[in-house]
Structure 1
Amino acid sequence: MIRRLLPLAAILSTTALMASQAQADYPERDINATIPWGAGGVTDLVARSVIPHAEEALDESIIPQNRPGGGAVIGVNYVRTQRPDGYNILIGTQDTTLYPVLGVADFDYDDFSVLNVIGQGLVVIAVPADSPFETMEQLVDKVLAEPGTIRMGDVGVGATPHITETIIDSATDADFDVRKVTFGGDGPGITAMLGDHIDFMPLSLPPAVEYLKSGQIRGLAILANERIDLLPDVPAITDALPEAENYLPWGSFQGVFVRKDTPDDVKQTLGDAFETAIGDPQFQDLYNNKLGGVTLNLRGDEAQEYIDNWQALTTWLLYDVGAAKVSPEEFGIARPQGQ
C-alpha cells in the first residue's frame, strides 16, 4: 500500500488555518486574572469592580485570584511564566516598574504588553482614630525626634507606603526613620490600624475612604498639592511639607497586562473588553467619585508612555534619596526634565 504524503505547503497552510481559527474563537473558556496583592486592598477592589463589566463585553467568565507576596513579585512572576494565550492576565500596579533599580527582581513590565492603564489613585496618610497625632507636622516632628520608634504600616519595597515615605524623607531636612511593619496589602494594614498595632500608614485612597468617612481612622494628609472634594477636611501634604510639591502628583496606578508574545488579535479582544469596562458609567462613578481616583483608560502607545513616565519619575526619586540600589541610567531610564 502506497501512502501519499501531503505537500509541506499544504501542511503549513492547514496548521496556520487551525491556529487562526483557534484565535478567532477566543475566548473559549474562563480567563484567569491574577491580582498580586491581598484581598481588601486597592488593586483587589479595583480588579473585582471592573472585571464584571469586562466579562459582559467578552461574554466569558474572568476568575480573579489573589496571589500576594514579595511586593507583588509572586503574582507578577506567576503570570510571566504562564502560556501566552490570553487565558492568564495580570491586574498589575506600579511596583513592578521599580523592581530592577530596587534589586527586588530581575524583570519588570518589559516582559508584558499593557492592554490598558485603568486609572491612578491618590494616597492618604492615615492614623488610628485615637492617635495622639492631630496633624502631619506633629507626626513628622515625632519621627524626627525619636527615629526608628514610630510604627509605619508597609506592604513592601516600591509600594505606595515606601514611595510616600521616600517623598516625605525628601521633603524634610532630616532622615524620616520609621519602624516598618509589613502587611500583604492595604486591607490587613487598615485592620492593624484599627487595633492600634501601628501608628500610621500611607494608604491608597480607595480602600480607606469608608473608614475615613466613618471616623474609624483619621487622615493627616493627602499626597497632593490641594485638598480634594471627597475628603475636604484632610489637608494636602504640601501644607506641612511644601517641598513635597516637587514630586506631585503621585499615586498608584492599576493596569491590565498579558505576556508580550500573546497573539495580537487576543490582545485586541481583551483590550477592547477592558476599554468598554472602564468606560462603563457605573465603574466610572465608583472609581472617580467614591474611591477618589482618576480613570485614565489608556491603551497602546499612550498607555506605555504613561508607564514609562511614571517609572522615570519614581526611580530617579528613589535613586536621589539613596533608596535605589543602582542608577536608573543602567536600565536606560532617563532623568525626567526638571527633576
Structure 2
Amino acid sequence: MKKDKKILGVVFVVVLWLSMMFGGLAFAQEKFPSQGFTLIVSWTAGGGQDMVARGLAPILEKNLGQNVAVKNTPGGGGSIGFMEAMRAKPDGYTIVQFSPSISILPYMMKTDVFYTKYDPIAYGGYSPGSIMVRTESPFKTIKDFLDYAKANPGKVRVGNTGFGSIGHMLAIDIERAAKLKFIHVPYKGGAPSFTAALGGHIDCVAAWVGDAYPLVQGKKLRVLAVTAPVRNKFVPDAPTFKELGINSEVITGYAWAAPKGIPKDRMNILYNAFKKSLESAGFAKYADDQGATITIKNPEEYGKFLVDQDKFWKELIQGAGLDKTQ
C-alpha cells in the first residue's frame, strides 16, 4: 500500500511538471494577442482611475490590434478587483490597473492582495495630492490655512475619500509632515467630499488635482498647495509643500500589472503597446484634460518603485496607528 502511494505521488509530480512545461509551450506557440483583453479597474465608473482607463483603452486597442474591455469591480478598497486579477490565468489577456491602494491595502485589512503577486507592466503617470478649499473660504493661501491649523489643533475638518483610502492617507501624511492635528471626515468617494467642501460642511478636502480638475477649472474649488515634487502645470500658482519646508510628496499613480507568471515575450508586447499609447498625442491631450502628468516607467523600473512604495506606506500607516494587521 505504501509502495502504491509512493508511485502515485511520483506520477502526480511528473504529470504536474509536464502540464506546466507544455502549458508554457502552448503559451509560447500561440499567436499573441489573438483575442480581446479585460482591463480591471477596482473602482467605480466615473472616478479618476476609471477615467484614465477609459481614455487609454481605445488607444491601447489600436496598438494591440484587439478589443480592450474596461471592467469595473469596486469594493473592499480595491481588493475585489485586485483579487480577481490575481486569480486570473497569467496569459496576458487580463490586465489590472494599479494605484497606491495596492500598497496600502495589506496594512489596512486582512487580505491576500500584495504587489509581489503580480507582474508589473508599466507606470504611466500621476496626479498630485493637494489641499483644496471652496472659493468663498477664508483661507486664500496655504499660509492662511497652516497658520489657522497650527493655532487651532484638532479643529480643522479635512474631508477625504473614505477611511483607509488613498485620500485619507494623503491627509494623514500632510498632517504628519506639517505637524498638525486634523479632524478627518471620511466620505464615500471623491464626489461627496467635494460636495461637502462646496457646501461649507468641511473646511477643506485632501484630494487629487486630477479628480477635482473640472471644479478647479470652473473656479469652484481653489488649490492651496500640492504634494508633487514640482509645481503642477495645471495649477501653477499653487506652491508645493516642499517649497514650504514640509516633506509631503504623496501622489496617486496610474499603472498596470498582470497576474504573476505572464510569459516574457507577452510582457514585452504589452509594455511596448502601453508605452506607445501613453506617448501618443491622443492620450497626452486626455491627460491634460484630467490634470495628470505622464511619467513612464518600464516593468523593471515600476517593480523597484513598488518596493519603495510598500516601505513608505507601511511606515506611514503604522506611524498613524492604523495598521490592522498587527
TM-score (norm 2): 0.81
- Distance in 2 separating the partners of 1:320 and 1:227: 28
Q: Say which of 111, 123, 129 aligns to 1:123.
A: 129
Match of 2:90 in 1: 84
The answer to whether the aligner puts 1:204 opposite 2:211 as a matched pair is no
Q: 1:50 to 1:102 in 2, by over 3 A?
A: same
Contact preservation (8 Å) 1:122, 1:205 = yes
- Distance in 1 separating the partners of 2:169 and 2:45: 21
- Distance in 2 separating the partners of 1:33 and 1:117: 15
- Distance in 2 separating the partners of 1:212 and 1:44: 19
The answer to whether the aligner puts 1:228 opposite 2:235 as a matched pair is no
Q: 1:23 to 1:188 in 2, by over 3 A?
A: farther
| 1:187 positional shift | 4.1
What aligned pairs does 1:47-58 form with structure 2 within 5 A after superposition? 47-58=53-64
Q: Say which of 24, 28, 33 aligns to 2:39.
A: 33
The answer to whether the aligner puts 1:319 opposite 2:312 as a matched pair is no
Alpha-carbon displacement from aligned partner over 1:250-272 (angstroms, at most 9, x marks no partner): 31111111100233333332222
| 1:126 positional shift | 1.2
- Further displaced range: 228-237 or 138-147: 138-147
Secondary structure in 1 matching 2:278 = helix
Q: Say which of 154, 174, 186 aligns to 1:147.
A: 154
- Distance in 1 separating the partners of 2:193 and 2:81: 19
What percentage of aligned pairs have identical amino acids? 24
What aligned pairs does 1:1-339 form with structure 2 within 5 A after superposition? 16=22, 20=26, 24-103=30-109, 105-140=111-146, 145=152, 147=154, 150-159=157-166, 161-174=167-180, 176-184=181-189, 186-224=190-228, 227-238=231-242, 242=245, 244-245=246-247, 247-248=248-249, 250-287=250-287, 289-325=288-324
Q: What is the RMSD computed on CA atoms of the aligned residues? A: 3.1
- Distance in 1 separating the partners of 2:96 and 2:277: 16
Secondary structure in 1 matching 2:89 = coil
| 1:284 positional shift | 2.8
Contact preservation (8 Å) 1:38, 1:187 = no
Match of 2:11 in 1: none
- Further displaced range: 113-122 or 293-302: 293-302
Q: 1:52 to 1:192 in 2, by over 3 A?
A: farther
Alpha-carbon displacement from aligned partner over 1:109-135 (angstroms, at most 9, x marks no partner): 111001111112211211233334333
- Distance in 1 separating the partners of 2:323 and 2:301: 27
Q: 1:27 to 1:190 in 2, by over 3 A?
A: farther
Contact preservation (8 Å) 2:124, 2:253 = yes
Alpha-carbon displacement from aligned partner over 1:305-333 (angstroms, at most 9, x marks no partner): 12212222332233334344568xxxxxx
| 1:34 positional shift | 1.0
Contact preservation (8 Å) 1:122, 1:251 = yes
- Distance in 1 separating the partners of 2:108 and 2:316: 12
Q: Which AA in structure 2 matches 1:43?
A: Q
- Distance in 2 separating the partners of 1:278 and 1:91: 14
Q: 1:27 to 1:226 in 2, by over 3 A?
A: closer
| 1:90 positional shift | 0.4
- Distance in 2 separating the partners of 1:182 and 1:30: 36
Contact preservation (8 Å) 2:160, 2:168 = no
Alpha-carbon displacement from aligned partner over 1:33-87 (angstroms, at most 9, x marks no partner): 1111223322112111111111001111111122222221122112122233333
Contact preservation (8 Å) 1:181, 1:198 = no
- Distance in 1 separating the partners of 2:112 and 2:38: 24
Structure 2: gaps of 5 or more residues: 1-13
TM-score (norm 1): 0.78
Q: Which AA in structure 2 matches 1:134?
A: K
Secondary structure in 2 matching 1:252 = strand
